[in-house]
Amino acid sequence: MQEPNPESSPATEIRELSRLANASGPDDARAFATVAGRFLAWLERHGDPSLQALRPPLVQALKESDNGEASAPGHALLMQALARSSESLACIQPSETEAPPSPTPTQASLKETAPLPFKIAPDDLPLFQDFLLEGDEHLQSIETNLLSLTQGEAWDVMAVFRPFHTLKGIFGFMNLKALTDLAHAAEALLEPHKSGKSRPTPEQVNLLLKAADLIRAQTRKIGEGIANSAFDVLPTGELQAELRKTLGPAKEGPRFEPLVSVPASILEPVSPELEHGSEPAKTHGGTGSESMVKVRTDKLDKLIDMVGELVISQSMVSQDPSLSDGKQYGLQRKVGQVSKILRELQSLSMGMRMVPMKPLFQRMARVVHDVSAKTGKEVVLQTAGEETEIDRTMVDSLATPLIHLLRNAIDHGLETPAERAATGKKSTGTVSLKALHSDSDVIIEVADDGKGLNLKKILAKAQEKGIVGPAEKLRESEIVDLIFKPGFSTADQVTDVSGRGVGMDAVRQSIEAMKGRVEVRSVEGKGCVFTLRLPLTLAITDGILMRVGSERYVMPTANIHITLKGEPDTVFTVAGSGEMVRFKGEMIPIFRLHRLFAVKGAKESLVEGLLVVVGDGHQRCALLVDELLGQQQVVTKSLGDGIGKIGGVAGGAILGDGRVGLILDPQGISSLARANQTQELQAVGA
Amino acid sequence: MTTESLEHSGLHTSADARAGKYLTFFLNTEEYGLGILKVQEIIGRQPITPVPRTPSYIRGVINLRGRIIPIMDLKRKFDMGDTTLTEESCIIVTQTVGVMMGVLVDKVSEVLNINGQDIEDTPSFGTAVDTAFLLGVGKTGDRVKLLLDIDRTVTGETLNDLKKAAGQI
């Protein structure tokens, strides 16, 4: 175990304590308790004699804050002790307060090039675990506020300063010297702006973002290594040096001032600066004041599952003929009461899966910032509806497509400032990210006011690549659709075609995997809007229940293009075996579901049954079914490990009558049917 | 004398792991035993949803309180014909090596304790009868119980057959 590092951390901690003790907000009290607890734990382990005097008043203060009562004498005692301690600390480490902080480590860390291994002492383990839980919150606050600064919005210097400060304290206790120094350097950079009169330069903001990134990377390293109680410490020397450099030598002085001035600020508890600082803490901590409970997700899923079952069982009870014969009024009323409660319970349990999109949007703000810096285009990001809630399992899968769309919008959609000026637009481009609820869908819009899609170029490129025949006439919407074609986007040349091609098929795929749809609207010269339409939750699939013989299957509504009734003049046989239906000039192969799935007693005639057109591109096919039974929302479940994956079946669902219905997977069915046909043809050939 | 004691000790060690409580059930007229620790519950017969492209002995899937589990027809698996569902038909829900599987049987009989010395290795019938699915033969009273190796029944070949049926092999 390494020696504790009392130079900076106890001093910072004491400063933080005295600040928090003076602040009056409810969140400050909680923060005070946290810091005080941490400090006490530290004191216990490293018995620094000069600081032991702090213990009794701290313990007393903690007890009081636990009980929700603060006594004036106890408070005064604490203040005195804090003041004394920081004075004595200043005496013990004069180098800390007089010379620039830790010049030696700076030089030392400058030499660091490779990550250093670090061992977590068993005693310190909880400290690291806590950090993993809360560290991200601080980083998020730093990022959000720095980004609002770059957008020219009102920003709160304390909301950046304080997290850096807290992180510095935590790193101090964790004995991560390199990180402590980095946080300190960041803090020092912000120090001159604390008055709110000046703002950091864009270059400085970038450096601060980099610092946040480095700390996040370190957090990940700790997360990976915590199981083995060892991880690598990332080198921070270079970034520290850069941070210092931007400050300039003239400003070196004031950043150590607070350390010396701690006693003074304690003597006059209502220091205007501190008061100013404590205000944002309240507004920012506002969301935190709702108390939270962490629950394992598998428990939550199980709960939601069981509620779903309850709903089905209840509907079976309420539909029981002995109840609906009109004689059991009392019982009917009671059952009605139960179903009311159940409905509420169900919406509640569904709500538990939902999380607001705010963190996702914040990540996107960062992407926009980075891309605009890289491309040299001036971009303003407008966001709306970040409180819109979405299934938590979808948040992660949404990040990649959104990053793609935003990157495309800036890189290819927006023009350079010069081009914009030439066309009479504002030199700063606007990209907007909007989320809203509509019926049972979540709609996410990524829009830019750039040049829009260049349809001519897209068409030319598609013809060149052989995706479209040279003589083919396409409607506008069909041309726009070309950007989603796999292969359209494969390589570098796409950038010439107004962009938009890079990985658009990947975007569509990942959205469709979430049972969603992508739509594009583009006006040349005005801009482009991508609309993602997603179901509220992945847990529930909108499906159409259909009958084939004695079996019922569920087809996800999102997969169905249209259902047709076959007419004698629209269905054909090709080469004696393959069957096709003609729809709007397109020849679609017909697959008989009952044959594929060996179901007996189904309708054999193509004209009598219904044709359900599913799938996209070359996977498109029409499935012959007997009839549609209606719409149903279902919860997709696995068929169990005992069976595993089955081609053409996406899973099972418990239907309204309690029986299991299979959910179809159109892609699987299509490839299955094609494989079967090939086999048959081979058999015929042999 | 020597052979007898050798035999006895050999039997003793190998039978020890097999001794214990068994849930017994009938397939046609044969009585089988299933280690009680592998049994999660016994449920009455239920509507079974057939699943296409699975081996014939997978009858389909059922809804077990919100969880979907597959149902295996043991008689089809052992080439003993089809199970006709009657009032006495039961599904024994087993849990082995992480896989939940319902086993369709004609009738559930009782739970009994079979001692080590009452268990014998499965006699070999040559190639005509596959005894790989049996742990051994238990003797209680005048009857013989065929002790089922459910792990092997559920996982071993079944999973392979499933993959074959799904066209993955």
Residue B1 confidence (pLDDT): 42
Residues A567 and A482 in one domain: no
Mean pLDDT of A607-636: 85
Domain ends where: A517, A535, A553? A535
Question: Do B49 and A675 make contact, defined as CB atoms within 8 angstroms?
Answer: no
| Token pair for B162 | 């499933």
Residues A555 and A643 in one domain: yes
**Cβ proximity of A57 and A77 under 8 Å:** yes
Number of helical (H) and strand (E) elements in chain B, helices listed first:
4, 11
> Is this structure's pTM higher than 0.95?
no
Kindly report the nearest CA distance between residue B116 and chain A, in angstroms.
31
Residue A267 has pLDDT above 60, yes or no: no
The answer to whether position A283 is within a domain reads no
The answer to whether position A254 is within a domain reads no
Q: Which of A557, A540, A622, A564 is nearest to A589 (CA)?
A: A622
Domain ends where: A353, A375, A390? A353
Please list the alpha-helical segments (H only) found in A68-156: 72-92, 94-98, 103-111, 125-150
Closest residue of chain A to B50, computed from CA coordinates:
A551
Kindly report the nearest CA distance between residue A391 and chain B, in angstroms.
21
Residue B102 has pLDDT above 90, yes or no: yes
Closest residue of chain A to B56, computed from CA coordinates:
A598
Contacts (Cβ under 8 Å, ≥6 apart) of A491? none
- Residues A363 and A139: their CA atoms lie apart, in Å, by 12
Residues A112 and A81 in one domain: no
Residue A496 confidence (pLDDT): 38
Residues A85 and A54 in one domain: yes
Residue B108 has pLDDT above 50, yes or no: yes
- The DSSP symbol for A224 reads H
Residue A664 confidence (pLDDT): 92
- DSSP secondary structure string for all residues of A443-505: EEEEEE-S----HHHHHHHHHHTTSS-TT----HHHHHHGGGSTTTT-SGGGGGTTS--TTHH
Mean pLDDT of A287-298: 71
Residue B167 confidence (pLDDT): 55
| Token pair for A580 | 């096709």
Cβ neighbours of A645 in B, within 8 Å: 166
Residue A497 has pLDDT above 50, yes or no: no
Residues A329 and A365 in one domain: no
| B156 interfacial to chain A (CB closer than 8 Å) | no
Burial class (CB in 10 A: 0-12, 13-18, 19+), A322: exposed
**Cβ proximity of A167 and A138 under 8 Å:** yes
Question: Do B63 and A658 make contact, defined as CB atoms within 8 angstroms?
Answer: yes
For residues A550, A556, A562 and A567, what is the CA-based torsion angle, rounded to 10 degrees?
Answer: -10
Residues A505 and A364 in one domain: yes
- Residues A8 and A98: their CA atoms lie apart, in Å, by 13
The answer to whether position A287 is within a domain reads no
Which helix (H) or strand (E) segment is A625 a member of?
Answer: strand A621-625
Question: Do A596 and B54 make contact, defined as CB atoms within 8 angstroms?
Answer: no
pLDDT digits (tens, 9 = 90+) for A95-109: 333 334 444 444 444
Total domain count for chain A? 5
- Buried b / exposed e over A593-620, threshold 16 CB at 10 Å, is bbebbebeebbeebeebbbbbbbeeeeb
Mean pLDDT of A193-220: 82
**Cβ proximity of A613 and A562 under 8 Å:** yes
pLDDT digits (tens, 9 = 90+) for A327-378: 888 888 888 899 889 889 988 887 888 888 888 898 888 888 888 888 888 8
Instruction: Tokens 């792991």: give the residue.
Output: B17
Cβ neighbours of B51 in A, within 8 Å: 639, 643, 646, 649, 662
CATH code at position A223 = 1.20.120.160
Binning pLDDT at 50, 70 and 90, where does residue A87 land?
A: low
**Cβ proximity of B137 and B144 under 8 Å:** yes
- The DSSP symbol for B129 reads S
Residues A139 and A210 in one domain: yes
> Would you list the domain boundaries of chain B?
18-165
Binning pLDDT at 50, 70 and 90, where does residue B70 land?
A: very high
Domain, as residue range, for A152: 101-247
Residues A59 and A15 in one domain: yes
Residues A214 and A360 in one domain: no
Closest residue of chain B to A676, computed from CA coordinates:
B167
ipTM of the complex: 0.81
Report the mean per-residue pLDDT for chain B.
80
Cβ neighbours of B97 in A, within 8 Å: none
- Residues A176 and A616: their CA atoms lie apart, in Å, by 54
Mean pLDDT of A375-402: 87
Q: Which CATH architecture has domain B18-165?
A: Beta Barrel (2.40)
Residue A472 has pLDDT above 70, yes or no: yes
Nearest to B63 among A306, A638, A659 (CB): A659
Residues A658 and A643 in one domain: yes
Nearest to A643 among B54, B63, B67 (CB): B54
Residues A430 and A455 in one domain: yes
Question: Do B54 and A645 make contact, defined as CB atoms within 8 angstroms?
Answer: no
The answer to whether position A84 is within a domain reads yes
CATH code at position A383 = 3.30.565.10
Q: When comparing pLDDT for A369 and A486, which is higher?
A: A369
Mean pLDDT of A587-608: 88
**Cβ proximity of A306 and A300 under 8 Å:** no
pLDDT digits (tens, 9 = 90+) for A396-446: 888 888 988 888 888 888 888 888 888 888 888 899 999 998 877 889 999
Question: Do B70 and A639 make contact, defined as CB atoms within 8 angstroms?
Answer: yes
- Detail the DSSP E strand segments found in B2-159: 20-27, 30-35, 39-44, 58-64, 67-73, 90-96, 99-105, 107-114, 119-120, 134-140, 143-148
Residue B107 has pLDDT above 80, yes or no: yes
Instruction: Tokens 């057959």: give the residue.
Output: B161
Residues A136 and A178 in one domain: yes
